[in-house]
Each structure stands twice: as C-alpha cells, then as structure tokens.
Structure 1
Amino acid sequence: MPRLFYAALIAACLSAPALAQQADIRFGGLKQDTSLPVEVDADNLSVDQGAGTAIFSGNVLVKQGEMRMTAAQVRVEYNDEGSAIEKMHASGGVTLVSPTDAAEAQDAVYTIDSGNVVMTGNVLLTQGNSAISGEKLTVNLKDGTGTMTGRVKSIFTPKAKNP
C-alpha cells in the first residue's frame, strides 16, 4: 500500500479521541503456524558464528506461511546449537502483513517458539477499514490475539445501513 495511505491513516488516528491506554485485539488473519519454515530474502547478509547471529540488511523480506514482514534490517539469533532460529529483531521501519491485517512500527521482535511478535514505536494496525495506533503492539501468532498499549487511538468504520 502506498505510504501516502498510511500517512493519512496515521493523521486520522492521531486526531481521533483516545479510547483507552490498552486495547485487546483479535488477529484472525495473523494467526500463524509458527512451526512452518522461515524464509528470509535480503540484499546483504553478515554472519557472526561466534555470537550465533546473522544480520540481513537492505530490502529484507521474511516469510512464514501467509505472514510477511519487511524491514530495513533483521538480526537473527540462533539457539546454542546453531540449528534453529530463536528470535528475529527487525528494525528501520517494519511492516507485518497477512491476508486481512497489516501493522507498521519502527521495530519488532519475533520470538519463534512462543509465536509472539512485539512491535514498538508509532505502531499502526489496519484491519479492513478500521485502524488503531499506539506505542506497543504484542501479537500472539499461535492464537491470533494481541494487545495494543501506550495512548491507544482508534478509528472504527461501521457497516453501512441498507435503505
């Protein structure tokens, strides 16, 4: 989606009245099988085997099932054996999308085993014609639930009535 669209949504969210400091959210479209393979595409890769990390940079695209995450940089932390990914730290403007939901933030941390994604910094979530913003969004991909915190603002578009 064009950045102009997101800028308009952010402006609208900022002008809407605050509904709460925390909002619990259902993410049917972000429910994800976290045991599926994780695929990462990027312009560059730097590996530090001693630290058990890899840094992907430049147009990073992370795919797992129907979930997509884009960022300027993603640092991958592997388990002690180096055989599996434990966490992914995305930074530099992060977008997380599914077939029905989309979220943007400055940074995100995805913990693979728990299925938790924590997005921070000017978070904007869109679900259909509705939008919600805050400072921190925690999504559990396994059960499709989430919580938005930090001066939560939202725009809800009611369904049109039939004449």
Structure 2
Amino acid sequence: MRAFFIALCVACLFALPISAQTSIGFGGVSHDANQPIEVTSDSLSVDQTTGNAVFSGNVIVIQGDLRMAAGEVSVIYGTGDTQQIQQVLATGGVLLTRGQDAAEGAQAEYSVETGHVFLSGDVLVTQGRTTIAGDRLNIDLNTGNGTVEGRVRTILQPAGQ
C-alpha cells in the first residue's frame, strides 16, 4: 500500500502543468535611471516635429551598468520637455547586459521613468552556467527581478557539474 501511495504521489507531481512563467534575478543591484544615456551608432535621424531620434547601425546604448546593443534604437522623448527621455525602443537583434547577466531577443522596450525593460521574440537569458529561454522577459531594473514568460525552457545543472 505504501509503495502504491508513493507511486501515486509521483504520478500526480508529473501531471501538474509546467508554469509558463519563471522568476529570475537580473543584474543584482538597483539601477540608477537618472544617469546619462550614451548612444553610439553608424547614423542618426531626428524628427524635428517630435524631437524623437532614431539611431541605426551597430547601435550601443549605455546607462551606468546597463548596456544594450541593437540594429536600430528609437529614443522617445516626453511631451513638452525634449530633455526628458521617456522610452528607448530597440529592434534588430537586441543584446542586453547588466553585470554578469545577459539577455537577447528580437526587440526591447526600456521605460526610463519606471525602470522596466520588456524584451520579446525568442528570448534567451544567460546567468553564469544557467540559460533560460522563453517568449518574453520583463525586468524591473529597480529591484533586479525579472520574469521569463511564454514557453519557458531551461537546463538545470546538478551540483558539482
């Protein structure tokens, strides 16, 4: 009877649905969104009516310990104050790094005001020997917490490996 009960418990455990969401840490410490944002690219175009800027070709964005590389980055300014950066939108194969952590995906949205990054499109997060893949990644740069959503895949490394 005891063996049957253990087998039943194990069967129930494997019958549970796999979560479509996994929490991760990203970067560890709080990010200072008030630091200047440095952008390097092959070209720049500016919309004179909105003041928004589009950087193209080998774009690198740096703000403190946050680094983003992409094919194209749009910088969106808040209304009324052309000095206040509201959002940074990146496309064309995005690589985001902070400390020892890295994430890549097809596009990214960085809300400077809230300190949140949303990365989507075949996301891959690398933290040391651990990799996590999914459809979307949400990161709160203020806390360093992140969530991978969608069809989440990872390989768990046993201790000593």
Cα offsets for 1:67-94 (capped at 9, x unmatched): 1100000011011121111001000000
Bigger mean CA deviation after superposition, 22-31 or 84-93: 22-31
What is the CA–CA distance in structure 2 between the aligned matches of 1:76 and 1:30, rounded to whole Å?
Answer: 25
Percent identity, aligned pairs only, is 44
What is the CA–CA distance in structure 2 between the aligned matches of 1:84 and 1:26, rounded to whole Å?
Answer: 28
Q: Secondary structure at the match of 2:109?
A: strand
Tell me if structure 1 keeps the 8 A contact 2:134–2:150: yes
Deviation at 1:19, TM superposition (A): 4.7
2:87 counterpart residue number = 87
Structure holding more strand per residue: 1
Quick check: which has more Rg, 1 or 2?
Answer: 2
Where do 5+ consecutive residues of structure 1 fail to align? 1-17
Matched residue count? 144
Matched letter for residue 55 of structure 1:
V
State yes or no: 1:21 paired with 2:20: yes
Deviation at 1:35, TM superposition (A): 1.3
Bigger mean CA deviation after superposition, 25-34 or 118-127: 25-34
Matched letter for residue 151 of structure 1:
R
Change in 2 beyond 3 A, CA 1:31/1:155? farther
Q: Secondary structure at the match of 2:36?
A: coil
State yes or no: 1:157 paired with 2:157: yes
1:54-65 → structure 2 map (5 Å cutoff): 54-65=53-64
1:145 counterpart residue number = 145
What is the CA–CA distance in structure 2 between the aligned matches of 1:131 and 1:30, rounded to whole Å?
Answer: 20
Change in 2 beyond 3 A, CA 1:28/1:70? closer
2:104 counterpart residue number = 104
State yes or no: 1:33 paired with 2:32: yes
Deviation at 1:30, TM superposition (A): 6.7
Tell me if structure 2 keeps the 8 A contact 1:40–1:63: yes
- What's the TM-score, normalizing by structure 2? 0.84
Tell me if structure 2 keeps the 8 A contact 1:129–1:156: no
- What's the TM-score, normalizing by structure 1? 0.83
Tell me if structure 1 keeps the 8 A contact 2:26–2:98: no
What is the CA–CA distance in structure 2 between the aligned matches of 1:135 and 1:43, rounded to whole Å?
Answer: 29
